[in-house]
């Protein structure tokens, strides 16, 4: 309990103690059922909530007493006390009410009074049932006798946070009354927004009962801030003054967003007919209202209230009305169960409140309800269907199924644009229809209906704007000493210029609102500044933003928000290169010596195979031994140029030739490509073949001062810091690469691609090795959750689509010079290992063809030999082919000649002719 609350309680005790009322309920000291039980009601009669709940409480008391199933034989009565919208008076009235031996108290409507008297009911064991106190902190275990029959602001602020998240607003301004009710609600709002990556940018506190001039002064300060989303959480009786002042200041126009908690719905329900200004001042406002499902019991209550209304005393109906009505029934049912179990209604003196010696205070007038804890237990166990719906409490002492209607004020009324419940979140379907359906049901695919915002527009407000009297943005710009094409100091009005500056200015010009800014240089001008330090300055709000060639990396995104990248980037290796010196024997370099030898042997081998396969059938492969040797050699080497004049006639010969010509095609193409590469491509002289070889070596590596490359090489690639050499300018790059790793220079430089492109356009004797091995881009840095970052990202995309981004790039970075294509290390001579697969295929083809050919030869030879043996003895003796010489003679015969011999019949003349023919044809090759 706070000191202020305690002081108020003691002061009130002092005031009323002398005239305390020692009244007791009849029948409370016996064990018989009492004829009457008394409860209290504490609220401000002449207030928005009071006018709504008083008729409901009176009607509920009458209905309870008229129902024989509840408190049969016992009459329920209520003592009402008016708090007069005063915390001090309300506390006094509450203590006076407790002094009348009530067994339960309805109310209060004020969270401030509830905090104070909760300590009193804890001491007296009297349940305190509030139908309006919504401060979430009242659910604390510190207040065990406090029972809330309305919804806690914990849920209401979760609904507000869902709305803000739905429209993707990052920051809001909270306007609230600075009391327990306002502070508790806004604290809950801050927690709910934090879960959705949003926050309260500013808390505008209104003093309780603040006048119009005070409200205007606060709203004028609020209007100078960036956020245009306002959450209003104030008391119903003075809340309309906020919107009246906002309208007079022009803050209810286009671009503003107003979200009011459920106090506004109670005000509109109360004053819709009596105060038309309530609708006029709140056009376009989104407000919340506690959800009450449509039911027959609700219609019955409304009819009774209308019949009870008298002329000049019109009652109002709101969520507070139904909660107050249900609160009476909650107490009545709890008392019925309490009495049915034989519990007595009795009071006793509280030893802690005995009069202090030599004191005039009569504290014994406040007596303890002996069985209050048992009655409280019956209250917590309640489970019935009331006008507001199911009345049942959760383990954390809140009503089950909390839900809100989300309303949009427009014209002379308001309309429902959706609902919120802790079960389904935002939805266009009533919560009671979703409890039996899955949360992701197709009926819940639309979260909110369209809204008419202030200014009578349906377009969603941006939610923020630059204040009219705000200072220009301080834009941090790195003061570079090299690669000034991207950003450099200038004598013009802006003070800077360059590629990055032009992109930023062009993007800002596409924004639908003006942005004032000043460029502020960052760095000493002696070396390139640290970009990580520049980003740190943005996160510390020293700069409102930072532009330039700032690489988007993980460590920086943890501090600030970046826009969409406006150019691609990434790290790449640069190494020295030299031209290969050409000589008279350069044409032999494409193949190794081993490769040349194998090719020569393979040409002769394939030529011999084709000669064997074609010799018996093709006259072009016959002749004298000298002619045939020349044919084999000529045919073999002429296939290299596809210039062989001999035609193949056998199927096997053509098959072998087809495979061989394919091999020759591959060999020729490889030779041409390798020779072209050797004669035209530069060769790297540093020995760096790629990133892996650079990491595994011990050679020094250069990097640009201020670049993130150093941290990446050390932290990600685990390269020793001692190997890294900082370099500041392109001339430093060239000098270090020319010296080399052994002469105080570097073996290679690792830098971002845009810098490398400019460097290579000026220094032609260096080349890149491999490809870019990191992916990233350059963007503009803004503080976390800055809405300007999102809008500029959209503008950068528009620049890219309309071609202006490329135009700016060409204007600043299209330097003419050496080609910047990525060049790999020059090709080495091709070895046998590159072609052994082809050679194996060719060899297998030749072997298979030869096997088929000789199988056919031996088959023909066998048949031919058997036929010759049928002749005379002398013929058989001369025709018998038993020697290798005879076999070779048979192979040398023409295919046609052998076939004809096999077709002739085996008679003498034929055998003689065959024998003579064989003798004539047994000439040597």
User: Tell me: the pLDDT tens digits for 743-783?
Assistant: 889 999 999 999 998 998 888 888 888 888 888 899 999 99
Give 304-313 contacts, CB < 8 A, sequence gap 24+. 304/59, 305/55, 305/56, 305/59, 308/55, 308/58, 308/59, 309/55
pLDDT tops 90 at residue 57? yes
- Whether 188 and 46 share a structural domain: no
pLDDT tops 60 at residue 433? yes
DSSP state of 826: P
- Residue 659, by phi and psi: left (phi above 0), alpha (psi -120 to 50) or beta? alpha
Q: Which of 393, 414, 444 is the last residue of a domain?
A: 393
Q: Which of 734, 758, 775 is the last residue of a domain?
A: 775
- 20 domain-assigned: no
pLDDT tops 50 at residue 322? yes
Place of tokens 């299209």: 814
pLDDT tops 60 at residue 25? no
- 268 domain-assigned: yes
Band the pLDDT of 872: cuts 50, 70, 90.
very low
- Whether 355 and 416 share a structural domain: no
pLDDT tops 90 at residue 860? no
**What is the phi/psi pair of residue 530, to 5°?**
-75, 120
pLDDT at 54: 92
- Whether 200 and 329 share a structural domain: no
Write out pLDDT tens, residues 829-841: 677 777 788 788 8
- 204 domain-assigned: yes
- 489 domain-assigned: yes
Number of domains in the chain: 5
pLDDT tops 90 at residue 910? no
pLDDT at 363: 61
- 459 domain-assigned: no
Mean pLDDT of 280-301: 91
Mean pLDDT of 82-97: 85
Write out pLDDT tens, residues 188-238: 999 999 999 899 999 999 999 899 999 999 999 999 888 999 999 999 988
CATH code assigned at 519: 3.40.190.10
Give the whole-number percent of the chain exceeding pLDDT 70.
78
pLDDT at 283: 94
- Whether 662 and 786 share a structural domain: no
Mean pLDDT of 561-577: 91
pLDDT at 403: 95
- 196 domain-assigned: yes
Q: How many residues does the chain have?
A: 925
Mean pLDDT of 128-133: 95
Write out pLDDT tens, residues 705-749: 888 888 889 988 899 999 999 998 899 999 999 888 878 899 999
pLDDT tops 70 at residue 894? no
Q: Which residues of 832-857 are buried (b: 16+ CB within 10 A; e: fewer)?
A: eebbeebeeebeebbeebbeebeeeb
Q: Between β-strands 128-130 and 146-148, what pairing exists: parallel, antiparallel or unpaired?
A: parallel
Mean pLDDT of 338-363: 73
Mean pLDDT of 54-68: 93
Contact by Cβ (8 Å): 780, 546: yes
Q: Which of 335, 359, 393 is the last residue of a domain?
A: 393
- Whether 44 and 123 share a structural domain: yes
Write out pLDDT tens, residues 133-181: 999 999 999 999 999 999 999 999 999 999 999 998 989 999 999 999 9
CATH code assigned at 388: 3.40.50.2300
Q: Which of 368-372, 403-407, 660-664, 821-825 has the highest mean pLDDT?
A: 403-407
Q: Can you give the C-alpha Rg of the chain in angstroms? A: 50
Mean pLDDT of 920-924: 40
pLDDT at 27: 43
Domain holding 767, by residue range, is 684-775
Contact by Cβ (8 Å): 765, 567: no
- Whether 494 and 610 share a structural domain: no
Question: Which has more pLDDT, 183 or 296?
Answer: 183
At 356, which helix (H) or strand (E)? none
**β-pair partners for 496:** 489
CATH code assigned at 753: 3.40.190
* Whether residue 108 has a cis bond before it, omega within 30° of 0: yes
- Spatial distance between the Cα atoms of 582 and 418, rounded to a whole number of angstroms: 80
- The CB density around residue 185, as the number of other CB atoms within 10 Å, is 29
Mean pLDDT of 569-594: 76
- Whether 216 and 134 share a structural domain: no
Contact by Cβ (8 Å): 56, 321: yes
Q: If you average pLDDT over every residue of the chain, what do you get?
A: 82
- Whether 591 and 548 share a structural domain: no
- 826 domain-assigned: no
pLDDT tops 80 at residue 806? yes
- 603 domain-assigned: yes
pLDDT tops 90 at residue 470? no
- Whether 707 and 730 share a structural domain: yes
- Whether 50 and 124 share a structural domain: yes
Band the pLDDT of 21: cuts 50, 70, 90.
very low
- Whether 350 and 272 share a structural domain: no
**DSSP letter for each residue of 708-769:** THHHIIIIIS---GGGEEEE-SHHHHHHHHHH-GGGTS-SEEEEEHHHHHHHHHH-TTEEEE
- Whether 282 and 420 share a structural domain: yes
Question: Which has more pLDDT, 590 or 232?
Answer: 232
């Amino acid at each position: 309990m706070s000191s202020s609350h305690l002081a108020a309680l003691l002061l009130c005790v002092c005031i009323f103690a002398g005239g305390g009322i020692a009244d007791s309920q009849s029948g409370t000291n016996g064990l018989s059922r009492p004829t009457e039980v008394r409860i209290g009601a504490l609220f401000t009669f002449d207030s928005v909530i009071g006018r709504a709940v008083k008729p409901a409480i009176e009607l509920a008391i009458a209905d309870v007493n008229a129902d024989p199933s509840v408190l049969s034989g016992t009459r329920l009565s209520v003592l009402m006390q008016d708090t007069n919208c005063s915390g001090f008076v309300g506390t006094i009235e509450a203590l006076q009410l407790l002094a009348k031996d009530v067994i339960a108290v309805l109310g209060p409507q004020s969270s401030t009074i509830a905090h104070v008297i909760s300590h009193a009911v804890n001491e007296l064991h009297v349940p305190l049932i509030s139908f309006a106190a919504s401060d979430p902190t009242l659910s604390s275990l510190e207040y065990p006798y406090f029972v809330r029959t309305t919804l806690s602001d914990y849920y209401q602020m979760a609904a507000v946070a869902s709305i803000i998240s739905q429209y993707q607003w990052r920051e809001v301004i909270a306007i609230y009354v600075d009391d327990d009710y306002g502070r508790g609600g806004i604290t809950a709002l801050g927690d709910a927004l934090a879960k959705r990556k949003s926050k309260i940018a500013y808390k505008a506190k209104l003093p309780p009962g603040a006048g119009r001039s005070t409200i205007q002064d606060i709203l004028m300060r609020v209007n100078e801030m960036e956020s245009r989303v306002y959450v209003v959480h104030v008391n119903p009786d003075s809340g309309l003054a906020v919107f009246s002042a906002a309208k007079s200041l022009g803050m209810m126009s286009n671009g503003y967003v107003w979200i009011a908690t459920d106090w506004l719905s109670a005000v509109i329900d109360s004053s819709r007919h009596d105060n038309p200004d309530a609708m006029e001042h709140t056009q376009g406002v989104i407000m919340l209202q506690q959800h009450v499902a449509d039911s027959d019991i609700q219609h019955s209550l409304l009819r009774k209230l209308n019949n009870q209304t008298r002329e000049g005393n019109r009652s109002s109906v709101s969520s507070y009305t139904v909660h107050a009505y249900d609160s009476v029934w909650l107490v009545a049912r709890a008392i019925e169960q309490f009495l049915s179990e034989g519990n007595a209604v009795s009071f006793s003196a509280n030893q802690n409140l005995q009069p202090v010696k030599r004191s005039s205070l009569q504290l014994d007038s406040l007596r303890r309800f002996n069985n209050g804890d048992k009655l409280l237990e019956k209250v917590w166990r309640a489970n019935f269907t009331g006008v507001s719906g199911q009345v049942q409490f959760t383990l954390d002492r809140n009503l089950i199924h909390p839900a809100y209607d989300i309303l949009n004020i427009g014209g002379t009324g308001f309309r429902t644009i959706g609902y919120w419940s802790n079960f389904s979140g935002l939805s266009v379907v009533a919560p009671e229809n979703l409890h039996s359906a899955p949360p992701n049901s197709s009926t819940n695919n639309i979260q909110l209906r369209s809204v008419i915002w202030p200014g009578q527009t349906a377009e969603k407000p941006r939610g923020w704007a630059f204040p009219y009297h705000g200072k220009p943005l301080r834009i941090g710009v790195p003061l570079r000493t090299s690669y000034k094409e991207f950003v450099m100091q200038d004598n013009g009005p802006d003070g800077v210029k360059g590629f990055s500056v032009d992109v930023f200015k062009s993007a800002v010009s596409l924004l639908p609102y003006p942005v004032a800014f000043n460029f502020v240089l960052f760095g000493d001008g002696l070396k390139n500044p640290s970009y990580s330090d520049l980003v740190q300055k943005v996160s510390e709000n020293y700069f409102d933003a930072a532009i330039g060639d700032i690489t988007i990396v993980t460590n920086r995104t943890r501090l600030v928000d970046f826009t969409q990248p406006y150019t691609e980037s990434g790290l790449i290796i640069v190494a020295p290169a030299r031209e290969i010196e050409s000589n008279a024997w350069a044409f032999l370099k494409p193949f190794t010596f081993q490769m040349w030898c194998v090719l020569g042997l393979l040409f002769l081998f394939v030529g011999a195979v084709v000669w064997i396969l074609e010799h018996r059938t093709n006259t072009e492969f016959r002749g004298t031994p000298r002619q045939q040797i020349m044919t084999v050699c000529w045919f073999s080497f002429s296939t290299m140029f596809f210039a062989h004049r001999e035609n193949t006639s056998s199927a096997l010969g053509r098959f072998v030739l087809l495979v061989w010509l394919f091999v020759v095609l591959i060999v020729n193409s490889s030779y041409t490509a390798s020779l072209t590469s050797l004669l035209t491509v530069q060769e790297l002289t540093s020995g760096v073949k790629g990133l892996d070889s650079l990491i595994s070596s011990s050679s020094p590596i250069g990097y640009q001062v201020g670049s993130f490359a150093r941290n990446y090489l050390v932290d990600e690639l685990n390269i020793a810091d001692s190997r890294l050499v900082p370099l500041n300018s392109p001339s430093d790059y060239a000098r270090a690469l020319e010296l080399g790793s052994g002469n105080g220079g570097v073996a290679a430089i690792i830098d971002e691609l845009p810098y490398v492109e400019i460097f290579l356009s000026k220094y032609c004797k260096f080349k890149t090795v491999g490809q870019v091995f990191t992916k990233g881009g350059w963007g503009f840095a803004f503080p976390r959750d800055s809405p300007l970052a999102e809008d500029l990202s959209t503008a950068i995309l528009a620049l890219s689509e309309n071609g202006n981004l490329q135009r700016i790039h060409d204007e600043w970075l299209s330097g003419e010079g050496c080609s910047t294509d990525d060049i790999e290390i020059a090709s080495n001579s091709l070895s046998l290992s590159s072609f052994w697969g082809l050679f194996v295929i060719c060899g297998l083809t030749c072997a298979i063809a030869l096997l088929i050919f000789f199988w056919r030869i031996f088959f023909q030879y066998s048949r031919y030999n058997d036929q010759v043996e049928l002749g005379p003895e002398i013929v058989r003796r001369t025709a018998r082919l038993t020697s290798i010489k005879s076999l070779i003679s048979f192979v040398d015969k023409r295919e046609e000649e052998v076939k004809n011999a096999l077709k002739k019949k085996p008679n003498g003349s034929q055998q003689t002719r065959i024998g003579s023919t064989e003798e004539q044809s047994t000439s040597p090759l």
